[in-house]
Structure 1
Amino acid sequence: MQNTASKSPAAKPVTPARPSFFGDIIAELKKVNWPTRDEIRKLTVMVLVVSFGVGAVLGALDYGLSFLVDHFLLK
């Protein structure tokens, strides 16, 4: 015995819309909060300053440790 009450002749299987991969990328890129030119400039300067600062500290530490090794351990 079949259950005919759950089947209706007008009902069609619903297939989900297949989104486009590139269309999704474009939609997501439109949602991005892009930085302004002034923000980019400030952040770039900050990265350069921090990079040079860390490089100077590491260079000074390397020079100091090399000096100590050369004068006290390799005498």
Structure 2
Amino acid sequence: MDLVERSGAKTVTKGGIMRLEKSQGKVLQATVVAVGSGSKGKVGDKILPECGGTKVVLDKDYFLFGDGDILRKYVD
């Protein structure tokens, strides 16, 4: 399991391409802040998780995702 912090999608890609407003809300990006034993991820990974996850409220809102719930890692 990975504990992640969600963030909104960026409006402009690294290559300078602007994303349409209606597609921005559909993309959920997240950063891994903690990993459980046996996890394939590591802290600081930027990921695209599936919708859902288990909400955990600490000092902020975080979400728990299993390795199977992570669609892919990406480089910002």
Hey, which of these two has a bigger chunk of strand by percent?
Answer: 2
Q: TM-score range by the shorter chain?
A: under 0.3
Find the structure with the greater CA-based Rg. Answer: 1
Task: Name the structure, 1 or 2, with higher relative contact order (CA <8 Å, separation 6+).
Answer: 2
TM-score, normalisation: structure 1: 0.21
TM-score, normalisation: structure 2: 0.21
